A = this chain, B = another copy of it.
Amino acid sequence: MQKPMVAEIIGVGTELLLGNTANTDARDLSEMLSALGINVYYHSVVGDNPERLQGVVNIAKKRADIIITTGGLGPTCDDLTKQVLAESFGLKLYYDEQEAEVIKSFFARRLRGAKMTENNLQQAWLPEGCTVFRNDWGTAPGCAFFAEDTHVVMLPGPPRECRAMFQYCAVPYLKTLSDSEIISHSLRVFGEGESSVEDRLRDMMNALTNPTLAPYAKEGEVMLRVTAKAGSREEAEEMIAPVIETVKERIGELIYGIDVESLEQCVFDLLSARSLTLATAESITGGMLSKRLTDIPGASNVFPGGFVTYSNESKNKLLGIPMELIEEKGAVSQEVAVKMAESARELLGADFGIGITGYAGPNVGEKGDVGVAFAALATETGSFVREMRLGMGRERIRTMAVNNCLDMLRRYLTGLDVVKMKHFN
């Protein structure tokens, strides 16, 4: 088997150096490259400056087999990635008539009314002999070439275009560099911390070489990636299957999905498949749960709506929770969480209701500590409540509170014990 190839990602753009935006392209490409079995050893970022970009490329040549650039392919005079890279590798640029036509028709089709200025056609200049990557998501084509023992891949900077072109253009190109197929699946895990999940799988992680099993921490979640390299896709899948089976045997209940986008997508899919609906009543999370549900196109099929009851009065007025109960038990209590869930379910005529209350901080609550929260799930057959201690940090506490709500419903819909959770954060 070949030695794994080493890649360097070069982000080109002064806006990255000014701190206008984080380099999410490097993150996205790194994740996808690692799924291809390609090691990313370096990221570099440089501004729209030809000398400095040249310098960075010369360094990358020496230490990487694959150079991937993002950004600097656009129509303005600042956009000089193709020129500099071509020059670095001694290639000329040619005017690609076909790509010029594609750019013209993009403007005609997508940007009704917007006038195409001539400089847009500058994007049709490409390094001679390159593989052209047509951009179906914007105007700047990308490309790839091989020179001086280095594979060079150039992608546009806007994250949506960069991700799509990597997936649909660069991946097929990079796969031809290897005579083997690399297949990878992601097991999404919620309910235990990374170190705890690692403890339960460490022997496998250490022993396995092909397929490999590797953990990634993701904002309160863990992702496990199983990657196999084989002569064919089928063979790779056959190698992966028993590894997934063993992981399932060990931590099955914690796995909420394989190759699924997010916990909310998992819950959406489960509800959607059975035409069930969910209503929400949020205090501590202030709408974050409903926001995440409605991030998903088509959310209206499963989510009629919800309440954000951020004060005691609104819990009383909108959800009919007695003021006496709030005063006696506290707004952050399992009793109030359950009532919130049940009222939301009833008032919206939904199959399920979720209620969530807690202290997000930074100031300590009157009757409890920051990070204490209660999530309740109301169902046809009764209600469940989970008490949580979510550590510190307002943003993190709110995110974990939402994750816990979604996890409870996910567990209910898959026939698992709803409340059980080994670690709360």
Contact = CB atoms under 8 A, between A and B. Distances in A.
A52 interface: yes
A37 interface: no
Contact of A43 (B24, B44, B310, B393): B44
A16 B44 CA distance: 12
Contacts of A293: 286
B24 A348 contact: no
A55 interface: yes
B300 A304 contact: no
A45 B46 contact: no
- Chain copies in complex: 2
Interface stretch (A90-98, A140-148, A230-238, A312-320): A312-320
B22 A29 contact: no
Interface in A275-321: 280, 282, 285-291, 293-295, 297-300, 303-311, 313-314, 317-318
A220 interface: no
A128 interface: no
Given A305-B307, A308-B287, A394-B297, A19 B15 contact: no
A175 interface: no
A319 B295 CA distance: 23
Contact of A32 (B19, B33, B63, B314): B19
B26 A22 contact: yes
A310 B318 contact: no
A50 interface: no
Contacts of A40: 17-19
A30 interface: yes
28 contacts: A15-B217, A16-B30, A17-B41, A18-B30, A18-B34, A19-B27, A19-B28, A19-B29, A19-B31, A19-B40, A20-B27, A22-B24, A22-B26, A26-B45, A42-B52, A286-B287, A286-B291, A286-B295, A290-B310, A294-B310, A295-B394, A304-B310, A305-B310, A306-B308, A307-B307, A307-B308, A307-B318, A317-B349
